[in-house]
Amino acid sequence: MGCKIGADKRSETWFGAFSQYERRCIRLHLETGGGARHQPRQRQRSLPGSEGRLAPMYWCFHCYAVNDHPTGPCDVCGQSVEAPARLSYTEGLIWALHHPDGDRAVLAAQTLGRLRASQAVPALRAAAENRGDIYVREAALRSVIEIEGSGPLRHWLEELSLSAPFNVRAVARQALLVEGRQEESVQPRPEPASPAPGCRR
């Protein structure tokens, strides 16, 4: 079956230090499910000559074009609308990272992080670097950090902290700050010098 459009929206309060205006902007772009599996809602449109009846629409697995049929050739690219039969749940989420619906892409990135899906790291890093939706980039970056930890990503995070959009820079800088504090906490403290022989305290 093809990939249906849309998703049920629920609120999520992870906004951190964003301003009230930025939070309102983020709410317009984000959605999250209550668990690992999220059931999408169909987007519908009126059929010609159907007296207002609505028909579900489906995204093509190969080109993301909208179709009115869940199987068979895509109206745009000609390939099969439906996903491969043995596509895993994680692979489906990786596919959704490039979804033209930014809310779906954000949800996919967040879920991959919660699942600690290491096989998705290359795709998540590419999404974080992509010059597209800044909220998809932020969600992808958060998930890479959640999976890999900030230590191995130091050089990459430093680059993002200088050149990425404001929200991505903030996440990268926060990760670097936390990593720096952790390094300081594990460094051994120097022992006090022993007094010289014959000297009294």
67 in any annotated domain: yes
pLDDT, position 131 = 86
Those residues whose C-beta lies under 8 Å from the C-beta of residue 119, and which sit 6 or more positions away, are: 90, 94
Q: Considering its fold, how many domains does the chain have in total?
A: 1
166 in any annotated domain: yes
The dihedrals phi and psi of 102, each to the nearest 5 degrees, come to: -60, -35
pLDDT in tens, 119-161: 999 999 999 999 889 999 999 999 999 999 999 999 999 999 9
* 87 or 37, greater pLDDT: 87
Neighbours of 28 (CB within 10 A): 9
pLDDT in tens, 59-102: 999 999 999 999 999 999 999 999 999 999 999 999 999 999 99
pLDDT in tens, 15-33: 444 455 455 554 554 443 3
Token digits of residue 103: 């809310």
Q: Is the pLDDT of residue 162 over 70?
A: yes
196 in any annotated domain: no
pTM of the model: 0.66
Task: Choose among 91, 95, 67: nearest CA to 79.
Answer: 67
Token digits of residue 70: 């869940």
Asked if residues 5 and 66 have their Cβ atoms less than 8 Å apart, the reply is yes
32 in any annotated domain: yes
pLDDT, position 132 = 87
17 in any annotated domain: yes
Amino acid identity of residue 142, one-letter, is: R
Q: Per-residue confidence at 57, pLDDT binned at 50, 70, 90?
A: confident
pLDDT, position 201 = 54
What is the residue range of 79's domain?
3-184
